[in-house]
Amino acid sequence: MQPGDPRGRVSDEKNGLVYTCRGGFIDVAHVRDNADITLAIAAALARTLETGSTIEVPPQGAAMRLRVRPVPAATLAAHGRIPVAVGLAQWLAYQLSIWHEIATFYGYTGIAGWPEKLSAFSPEDLYSNELGIRLAGGIVFAKGARSDLE
């Protein structure tokens, strides 16, 4: 399919599998998806650490939301706002990635007509998810994402 094809092309990104000597197969789409969700959660959390928040997450087989309690001021003073937000975001993103695999196994599909159950818990999925989550943390700490859009 070509970009803009009415048959449902999702994006123009060149996603696929990459083989690495240290990590084995890496699913580039999983890396990107998990980096994006981690950055989005970290940005939302960083604004609401003292008050707590509820973050709506796109549904995957069910309505989903993340409820985060207020973080004590002493914790923020000891560790810093950004490290706390990023650490929480990384943990939450990984939990969501596991839920995605479970929902996919039981029939959830992000693309109509695509038999995703066949790829639920593929050997490269969780490692690729973790790689994206860790890359997102590195991007934040390197100040590579100065806004939600970046």
Query: How do residues 11-70 score in pLDDT, each as one tens digit?
Result: 566 778 999 998 899 999 999 999 999 999 999 999 999 999 999 998 888 889 999 999
Cα-to-chain-centroid distance, residue 130: 9
Q: Does the residue 3 lie in any domain?
A: no
Give 2 or 34, the one with higher predicted confidence: 34
**Cα(123)–Cα(127) distance, rounded to whole angstroms?**
8
Q: Does the residue 65 lie in any domain?
A: yes
DSSP-derived pairing of the beta strands 64-68 and 24-27? unpaired
Cα-to-chain-centroid distance, residue 105: 18
If one counts every other C-beta atom within 10 angstroms of the C-beta of residue 122, the result is 16
Amino acid present at 4: G
| pLDDT at res. 5 | 44
The pLDDT confidence band at residue 2, using thresholds 50, 70 and 90, is very low
| pLDDT at res. 103 | 87
Burial (0-12, 13-18, 19+ Cβ within 10 Å), 54 = exposed
The pLDDT tens digits of the residues spanning 127-140 come to 999 999 999 999 99
Is 73 in contact with 92 (CB distance < 8 Å)? no
Domain count within the chain? 1
Q: Does the residue 146 lie in any domain?
A: no
Q: Does the residue 148 lie in any domain?
A: no
The pLDDT tens digits of the residues spanning 88-107 come to 999 999 999 999 888 888 88
